Amino acid sequence: MRYAQSVADLVGNTPLVRLNHVTAGVGATVLAKVEYFNPGGSSKDRIAGNIIDAAEREGLLGPGGTIVEPTSGNTGVGLALVAQQRGYRCVFVVPDKVAEDKRAVLRAYGAEVVVAPTAVEPEDPRSYYSVSDRLVREIPGAYKPNQYANQNGPRSHYETTGPEIWRDTDGTVTHFVAGVGTGGTITGTGRFLKEASSGEVRIVAVDPVGSIYSGGPVHGYDVEGVGEDFWPEAYDPSVVDEIHRVSDAESFAMTRRLAREEGLLVGGSSGMAVVGALRAARDLPDDAVVVVLLPDHGRGYLSKLFDDDWMREHGYSVDGIVQDSAADTE
């Protein structure tokens, strides 16, 4: 008999899939690491088990405990999967720009969802960081993983995502491309691939226009799960060799193309990462192997970037014609 002991054991070992159509004009091989094959539908499933194990070991979380976390959705799903197996309650604070579909998913897994406004400073008492801090103080036995500072995030990618890419490319990967949210994915995966290749693999970060990582003025943007307005401890910028800045319009147009042309129904941060990957790959020789990580499934965005009315209302083209913001790239 061949079966998993629990759904949590199915995390990781996601496949690499070659991109064949959006790559027109690129000589290098571009491979997508499709993280929606994780049981909770995103790369964030990878960090949840390690974070909860460490909290239990350190006595921060015990029987009857509650996990409180500000999350745009995916970390919540990962944590909820593990928490329900171990009998913990989950309360997630979600920014109001996160699609209702994604909030409904968290509730479906048994979590409680508190919605907080996006358009306020992090220090504002209404911000999703402040609200989660208040809940931690108020709920007895509450534990906040704080994915932005928790080193078990990058460590999980160092232990799983990096080795999987190295193994599945037989050590031929030359570039690794990922969007930066907490920075855990690029930091952990990048660090592993640098070590495995004696510094040869080039690490390419991708950032939304308006986020802090790529410089330029910090302001709001629509793509979810990536970019920040502060520097989190989970991100180690010294791992990154180059950073590309991509607009919402480009991210959404590419995300729609990935569904129509590659059969990959993924979220907006995946489209963003692919735009960055193609920019990095444009001038590379044919023997280069570029791996780009696609963090989550597109099903959570059907009423947003896959909806033509939503796209038009927010000023985006639905025919895929957008201005290239590569001029912004550093």
Q: Burial-class residue 242 by CB neighbours within 10 Å (0-12, 13-18, 19+).
A: middle
Q: Is 146 a residue that touches ligand PMP (CB under 6 A)? A: no
Q: Which residues pair with 294 in a beta bridge?
A: 34
- Which parts of the chain fold into alpha helices (H)? 45-57, 74-86, 100-108, 128-138, 152-156, 162-168, 184-196, 248-262, 268-281, 308-313
Nearer to ligand PMP, 65 or 184 (CB): 184
Stretch that binds ligand PMP, among 17-25, 91-99, 182-190, 315-323 (CB under 6 A): 182-190
Least distance in angstroms from the C-beta of 183 to ligand PMP: 5
Q: Is 152 a residue that touches ligand PMP (CB under 6 A)? A: no
- Which parts of 145-183 fold into alpha helices (H)? 152-156, 162-168
Comparing CA positions, the residue from 249, 270, 231 lying closest to residue 328 is 249
Q: Enter the tokens of residue 108.
A: 């479906």
Stretch that binds ligand PMP, among 89-97, 118-126, 183-191, 192-200 (CB under 6 A): 183-191
Of 19-58, binders to ligand PMP (CB under 6 A) are: 44
Of 210-249, binders to ligand PMP (CB under 6 A) are: 224-226
Nearer to ligand PMP, 38 or 174 (CB): 38
CA dist list (Å): 227 to 4, 57, 130, 159: 35, 31, 19, 24
Q: How big is the site for ligand PMP, counted in residues (CB under 6 A)?
A: 17
Nearer to ligand PMP, 106 or 226 (CB): 226
| CA neighbours closer than 13 Å in the CB half-sphere of residue 12 | 21
Nearer to ligand PMP, 69 or 262 (CB): 69
DSSP element (H, E) containing 29: strand 29-34
DSSP element (H, E) containing 249: helix 248-262
Of the candidates 281, 296, 310, 325, which one interacts with ligand PMP according to CB under 6 A?
296
Contact 197, 239 (CB under 8 A): no
Q: Enter the tokens of residue 212.
A: 């802090």
Q: Is 185 a residue that touches ligand PMP (CB under 6 A)? A: yes
Of 44, 102, 144, 304, the active-site residue reads: 44
Binding mask 99-138 for ligand PMP (x = CB under 6 A): ----------------------------------------
Cα(188)–Cα(67) distance, integer angstroms: 24
Q: Enter the tokens of residue 228.
A: 């920040």
Least distance in angstroms from the C-beta of 154 to ligand PMP: 8
Least distance in angstroms from the C-beta of 5 to ligand PMP: 26
Of 161-180, binders to ligand PMP (CB under 6 A) are: 179-180
Contact 18, 290 (CB under 8 A): no
Active site residue 194: no
Nearer to ligand PMP, 284 or 293 (CB): 293
Q: Is 95 a residue that touches ligand PMP (CB under 6 A)? A: no
Cα(216)–Cα(116) distance, integer angstroms: 26
Least distance in angstroms from the C-beta of 208 to ligand PMP: 10
Contacts of 59 (CB under 8 A, 6+ apart): none
Catalytic residues: 44
> Which residues of the shown chain bind ligand PMP in the complex (CB under 6 A)?
44, 72, 74, 179-185, 224-226, 267, 269, 295-296
